[in-house]
């Protein structure tokens, strides 16, 4: 379960607003400001491992988005995700109509996140570092105000684990 990568994608995806399918959708950082909370569930194992997601988003200026997030429950089945801060800069990590960034993360490894130009959709992928070289993963998210849902697939030895997350603004 790569919750942190999904959370990053989920919270950043919350800035995608309005628009018509196939049209570039403006990213309005001001719509992100506030507290967000949600849950995740690994649907591939019984009982279904679950956890919580909490985030706070601030926009200190028109060119910066700061996301602080934490996740409970086992990530990749074994790791704890400590509170983490992600800072995104306009012109580097996002534009008025697109999101595109890569980061190295202590749990989720090398992570890339991109918005799709069709509107409220995001994709992310990475290879976790948890547990001495965790599994590779990819995720797809969809935003419908005020909620973002993400589906993730994690490549484990001999199995693909499926996880879902839902995050909403409080």
pLDDT at 22 over 80: no
Quote the tokens at residue 139: 């995720």
Q: What predicted TM-score, i.e. pTM, was given to this entire model?
A: 0.80
pLDDT at position 89 is 95
pLDDT in tens, 25-66: 567 788 889 999 999 888 877 777 788 889 999 999 989 999
Question: Tokens 């589906």 appear where?
Answer: 151
The stretch 123-145 carries a mean pLDDT of 79
The stretch 4-29 carries a mean pLDDT of 49
Residues in the chain: 170
Q: Are 87 and 101 in contact (CB under 8 A)?
A: no
pLDDT in tens, 94-105: 888 888 999 887
Q: Which tops the pLDDT comparison, 7 or 169? A: 169
Residues ≥6 apart with Cβ < 8 Å to 137: 2, 5, 108, 125, 126, 127, 128, 152, 153, 154, 155
Sketch the domain layout of the chain as residue ranges. Answer: 3-169
Homologous superfamily assigned to 3-169? Calycin beta-barrel core domain (2.40.128.20)
């Amino acid at each position: 379960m790569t919750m942190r990568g999904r959370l990053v994608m989920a919270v950043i995806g919350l800035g995608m607003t309005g628009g018509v399918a196939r049209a570039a959708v403006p990213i309005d950082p001001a719509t992100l400001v506030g507290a967000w909370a949600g849950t995740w569930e690994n649907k591939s194992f019984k009982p279904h491992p679950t956890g919580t997601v909490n985030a706070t988003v601030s926009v200190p200026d028109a060119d910066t988005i700061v996301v602080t997030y934490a996740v409970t429950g086992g990530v990749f089945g074994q790791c704890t995700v400590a509170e983490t801060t992600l800072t995104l800069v306009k012109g580097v990590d996002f534009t008025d109509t697109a999101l595109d960034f890569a980061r190295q993360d202590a749990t989720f490894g090398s992570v890339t996140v991109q918005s799709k130009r069709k509107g409220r959709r995001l994709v992310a992928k990475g290879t976790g570092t948890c547990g001495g070289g965790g599994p590779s993963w990819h995720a797809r998210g969809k935003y419908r105000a005020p909620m973002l849902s993400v589906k993730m697939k994690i490549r484990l030895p001999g199995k693909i684990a499926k996880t879902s997350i839902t995050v909403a603004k409080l």
